[in-house]
Amino acid sequence: MRLVLGQDKQGGWRCLEDLCPHRLAPLSEGRIHESGELQCTYHGWRFNEQGGCTSIPQIGDAKAHNTACSSGRACVSAFPTQVLQGMLWVFADSSPEGWAEATAADGTPALPAAASPELRHSPAASAGLGDQEPLVPARRASQL
Ligand code: FES
């Protein structure tokens, strides 16, 4: 799965699947709208940080526009993020349960890989990547 990352006006990182639900164009070719939302470059659909569709410029009727935007088919998957020790982490679960787990407790996403004792003390973490073990276990990397 390809992801698109961006920062909001407050510097918070946002992560969406790099796939517009309209015609499957890469959202990474889009731009940040003045509203702070990600706008697809092809037909101008816009998405908020939760992946919800907020604008479909081709639909002028307000009721039809709201119906279309509220459809799950118009949404894109969004993933929780966290900056930890100078690295950007993406929690590889866009489900409501994943968001709940990632934002539990004090509101700071609790990324299992970052909290793992094996990761904190792995040779790769202290000696650089080189041909060492990857920082992110292969199982998690393949989910990204
Ligand atoms: S392909 Fe993204 S808005 Fe049409």
Q: Which ligand 1 atom is the nearest neighbour of the CA of 44? A: 3
- Where are the CATH 2.102.10.10 domain residues in the chain? 3-78
For the domain spanning 3-78, the CATH number is: 2.102.10.10
- Give the residue, out of 27, 45, 47, 76, with the most ligand 1 atoms within 8 A of its beta carbon, to mutate for a pocket test: 45
Helix (H, G, I), strand (E, B) or coil at 102: helix
Q: What are the pocket residues of ligand 1 if the criterion is a CB atom closer than 6 Å to any ligand atom?
A: 20, 22-23, 25, 40, 42-43, 45
- What are residue 86's phi and psi, to 5 degrees? 80, 5
Q: Map tokens 């003390």 to a residue.
A: 121
pLDDT one digit per residue (tens) for the chain, 144 residues: 999 999 888 888 999 999 999 999 999 999 999 998 999 999 999 999 999 999 999 999 999 999 999 999 999 999 999 888 788 889 988 998 888 887 775 545 555 555 555 555 544 444 444 444 444 443 444 344
Instruction: Please tell me the pTM assigned to this model.
Output: 0.72
In the chain, at which residue ranges do the beta strands (DSSP E only) sit? Answer: 3-7, 13-17, 31-32, 38-39, 46-47, 53-55, 78-79, 81-84, 87-90
